[in-house]
Amino acid sequence: MCGIVGYIGKVNAASVLIGGLKRLEYRGYDSAGIALLDGDRVTVSKASGKVANLSERAHSNWSPELFQKATIGIAHTRWATHGPPTEVNAHPHLDGSGGIALVHNGIIENYRSLRARLEAKGDVFLSETDTEVLAHLIGDCDKGDLFQAVCDALHQVVGTFGIAVISSREPDRIITARRGSPIVIGVGDGETIIASDASAIVAHTQRVIYLDDNDIAIVTADAVDIRDLDNVPVTREIAELEQDAAATEKGGFDHFMLKEIHEQPDSLANAIRGRLDLQLGSSVLAGMGSSQRELAELSRVVMVGCGTSLHAAMVGQYAFEDLADIHAGVQQAAEFRYRNPILGSRDFVIAISQSGETADTLAAVKEAKQKGAFVMSLVNVVGSTIARETGRGVYLHAGPEISVASTKAFTCQVSVLLMMALRLGRGRRYSRDEGLKLAREIQSIPSLVQQVIDKGEMIAEIAAKYLDNEHAFFIGRGPMYPVALEGALKLKEISYIHAEGYHAAELKHGPIALLQEGTPVIAVACEGPAKDKTLGNVEECRARGARILGIVTEGDHEAEDVMDDFISVPRAHPLVATIPAVVALQIFSYHVARLRGCEIDQPRNLAKSVTVE
Ligand code: AGP
């Protein structure tokens, strides 16, 4: 969603800020803006659409001298919430005097009452945004000390924020603060960079400080002074970033999505490496704690997540029940806290999130902790809010995922969930022999995935036959049901074809009414206990004229024969097979979208991490 970059230091701020915004483009946005301090005034450039538009606008608005001399500024990419993505609604927003500029991620929930109060005092607002209200509120509180003004304003705010503020009256500092929306501060040599995401910092420094909720920092070129909102100093460690700048570049691929699909053998190897115990037929996941006894006392697994992460949780549900004989449930994170879930100390709540910033998943974590559950996270982004909020968890080690459409995070999530289920299972009824067999299969996942990637060209040829339909169905049973859901999500988000995933048995309960001659049905029918029944459902679709693309197990001629087209994936344990099967669907969706001329990495209306409810 929205992205923040701030810079104070020794080089020209505009280049650093525009470069940083470009690195945040993957998060999804629809307008952008930048504010620089030009002597004793704040100057702002904004544009709707891409950062490239903003760059053009800034170069025509500002003289080359200003570009060279301004060494402090803030910038933003906006994903519209309050008001359309117009130039006037883009950030930075100014206070009433025009001397204070603010960029903001999050939502000020009480902005209407604050705005009415300020309007009654004579303030005039230019935009429809909640952010402009906060800018005016800071201006209203400013009695000569910007830090204190921001504290006083934030005390009046209900909602979430990650902010950066500059003032023409205090040109040596940026004030930044967070509550529920991340802020990372990059500590360089005579320069400091603020961002909502480390990707914007990594090209400048590897040394970062993550702010905690309700932290506020006075940032200068040489120092970072962090306090709480009551002005009490707090200490935050400097961490080393693990990623390098190259990881956030396309590396010769046409799209980040394709690059990330191709990275999966490596990212899966990283997710699995050192985590299997091939003596005990179990797994070693330090983040789950070291006590088998503690794990044995758990009576239920509850997984929460959204979107792709929710689909990974659904595969995990089959794994926990099959391998560990433990009740396992999945809850959409947005629903979790509002339904007042019944939870206790024997419930094992796993929050699943690539970004570690999804607002609903974070809220679910807080609720589960409140109710005394054993909470941990399964997160990709190191140091993210959910990882820090849970305090206990397992990182995916998938590497940065830039494409909005999640690929490698899903396959790593499923792999780690399989290893977690294996460990729980070995503490229960799963035997050493069974454990060893599964552990070896998990170890082979990177090579299974590589075999599917190697079929890329063939899959592209099949994709070319499915371009012209505006609707598609994905069906599956057992663990292939969430794979069907994930396949449908991939296709709809990047190709804009209306695609729905259904349990194969559910078609007859309504959706089959929509089938017509040539309607695509993508059937995930790999070998496993439910395969024959899925093939039966495929026959029902064929009888109504549907065109069937099957994801089948290599050498399964019975399945091949009922499909119009098929992509075969290597034979594997039915839970493990979910991973090569989904990779086939990722590649299929990618090529459909590419051949339809879609943007792919930044689909319309979507954001990489959804930081609002
Ligand atoms: C899927 O391709 C999307 N990127 C989306 O569904 C995503 O999985 C969801 O928003 C959850 O994000 P998270 O994993 O970062 O929490």
Q: Catalytic annotation on 608?
A: yes
Share of the chain above pLDDT 90, in %: 84
Q: Determine whether the shortest distance from the Cβ of 358 to ligand 1 is under 6 A.
A: yes
Question: Does 405 sit in the ligand 1 pocket, CB within 6 Å?
Answer: yes
Distance 404 CA to ligand 1 centre (A): 8
Instruction: Tell me the per-residue pLDDT of 288-337, one tens digit each, with 9 for 90 and over.
Output: 877 888 888 899 999 999 999 999 999 999 999 999 999 999 999 999 98
> Is there an atom of ligand 1 within 6 Å of 611 CB?
no
Which residue, 129, 25, 4, 11, is CA-closest to 71? 11
Judged against a pLDDT cut of 80, whether residue 220 lies above it is answered with yes
pLDDT category at 31 given cuts 50, 70, 90 is very high
- Evaluate if residue 67 carries a pLDDT over 90: no
| One CATH from 3.90.850.10, 3.40.50.10490, 3.30.365.10, 3.40.50.450 for 447-613 | 3.40.50.10490
What is the CATH superfamily name and number for domain 250-443? Answer: Glucose-6-phosphate isomerase like protein; domain 1 (3.40.50.10490)
CB-based contact 12:593 (threshold 8 Å): no
Q: Is the pLDDT of residue 609 over 90?
A: no
Residue with CA closest to ligand 1 atom 6:
307
- The full set of domain ranges for the chain reads 3-247, 250-443, 447-613
* Mean pLDDT score, 357-385: 94
Banded model confidence at residue 26, pLDDT cuts 50, 70, 90: confident
Q: How do strand 498-503 and strand 174-179 relate by DSSP bridges?
A: unpaired
CA dihedral sign of residues 334, 338, 342, 347:
positive
Quickly name the fold that domain 3-247 has: Glutamine Phosphoribosylpyrophosphate, subunit 1, domain 1 (3.60.20)
Mean pLDDT, the chain, rounded, equals: 94
Cβ proximity of 365 and 377 under 8 Å: yes
Domains 3-247 and 447-613 share a fold: no
Query: Would you list the DSSP string of 412-465?
Result: HHHHHHHHHHHHHHHTTT--HHHHHHHHHHHHTHHHHHHHHHTTHHHHHHHHGG
- To the query of whether residue 121 is one of the catalytic residues in this protein, the response is no
- Which residue in 408, 490, 492, 608 is the catalytic one? 608
**Is residue 610 within 6 Å of ligand 1 at its C-beta?**
yes
pLDDT tops 90 at residue 241? no
Specify the ligand 1 atom closest to the Cα of 610.
Answer: 10
Residue 380 CB less than 6 A away from ligand 1: no
In which region does residue 534 sit, left (phi positive, over 0), alpha (psi from -120 to 50) or beta (all else)? alpha
Report the chain's C-alpha Rg in angstroms.
Answer: 25
Query: Strand 239-240 and strand 215-219: pairing?
Result: unpaired
The DSSP line for 503-523 is: EGGGGGGTGGGG--TT-EEEE
Nearest Cα neighbor of 318 from 567, 500, 528 is 528
pLDDT, residue 116, reads 97
